[in-house]
Structure 1
């Protein structure tokens, strides 16, 4: 057991070093790289293996990173938004995406999938741009970001609910999809009312 732990630590250190050398930009890239090394056909003894296909792991990392971005933006909107309707939507984002993120994290742990701890570089830039705004400009930018983000999320989860090979990830995508569609409907209604 001690030997396996040592091997895991060496493998993780090598990955971290390799990630730095290869210019990995963010937590999602690092998680994707780590998942790639867990390929059970090559080095399961050293990494513990991964229980899903590369595409399924990529779905999990994308969903986790994007969900974290939704939570972070929602928390920002809870304090910066001026519209009560936008603040209520933000609270729903924080609650629903935190719940889904926790469920995905627990599922990923059972499958030995490494998830990003923060949004990807694009999500971090969007958060920075959003933080620079205030008042009605913030509300509009937040709602526009949520509209774009939920269109992408619905597409991602529709694809996963049809194409994931792992039955548990497929079930998670299928279960979460109606909530994402409801979010999209809500944000579209708010977006229309702002014109």
Structure 2
């Protein structure tokens, strides 16, 4: 009974945080909900929760994955270069698969994921949406290089530091794809010079 009350309390807190967080983005709301769950689990040893840092990785990976899909769709629509369009298609396909895996994993672990991209990624999307043709291609390719370098660092760190074995396995499984994406987009960048 005590466990049910704690779960209801957590769900209420998470919902309340999202409702009261008018200026918070979806990623911040997910992080807040996961922190509340982890803090409550620490107080009640009968509850289990994923480590706060592990949950933060899951939220960041989900946010980044959703952004890759949305920006990939933009590339499919707006790119002038066929290689950039094809790369956008690959982003939609590969990151949609990874996103589905992360959603299932998060659900099994009780991790709240963001419902939409955060404000930083939305700004990138808005900026790219305002461009077209070769200007779009150049900006998108540059963003993908920088973004994949950051993602690779995050995922490499995750493979070393995550406590949850399933999240660690996800990071290990996804890392080669991210490295392949970086190599691919770098070749596209070099061919555009």
TM-score (norm 2): 0.90
Cα offset for 1:6? 5.8
CA distance, structure 1, for counterparts of residue 45 and residue 75 of structure 2:
43
**Counterparts of 1:182 and 1:79 in 2: how far apart (Å)?**
23
Residue 43 to residue 123, structure 1, CA distance change in 2 (3 Å): farther
State the partner residue of 2:128. 130
How far the C-alpha of 1:42 sits from its partner, in A, is 3.0
RMSD of aligned residue pairs (Cα, Å): 2.0
- 1:170 matches 2:168: yes
Give, in whole Å, the separation in 1 of the partners of 2:155 and 2:163: 13
- State how 1:90-129 maps to structure 2 within 5 Å: 90-129=88-127
Residues 1-195 of structure 1 aligned to structure 2 (within 5 Å): 4=5, 7=9, 10-20=12-22, 23-24=23-24, 26-39=25-38, 40-42=41-43, 51-195=49-193
Over 3 Å counting, the alpha-carbon distance change for 1:69 and 1:55 in structure 2 is: same
Contact 1:130/1:138 (8 A) holds in 2: yes
Gaps of 5+ in 2: none
CA deviation string 1:132-191 (max 9, x = no partner) = 000100011111111111001101111111111000000000000000000000011111
Decide whether the 8 Å contact of 2:14 with 2:36 is kept in 1: no
**Do the aligned partners of 1:71 and 1:94 also contact (CA within 8 Å) in 2?**
yes
1:18 CA drift (Å): 4.5
Deviations 1:101-153 (A, max 9, x none): 00011000000000011111110000000000001000111111111110011
- Secondary structure (helix, strand or coil) at the match of 2:42 reads coil
Aligned-partner Cα distance in 2 for 1:178–1:38: 31
Aligned length: 188
Distance change in 2, residues 1:13/1:87 (3 Å): closer
Instruction: Structure 1: state its 5+ residue gaps.
Output: none
Q: 1:88 to 1:159 in 2, by over 3 A?
A: same
Give TM-score scaled by structure 1 length: 0.89
User: Distance between the aligned counterparts of 2:160 and 2:15, measured in 1?
Assistant: 36
Q: Distance in 1 between matches of 2:69 and 2:48?
A: 27
Tell me by how many angstroms 1:43 deviates: 6.1
Partner Cα distance (1:178, 1:139) in 2: 24
- The answer (yes or no) to whether the contact 1:164–1:170 under 8 Å persists in 2 is yes
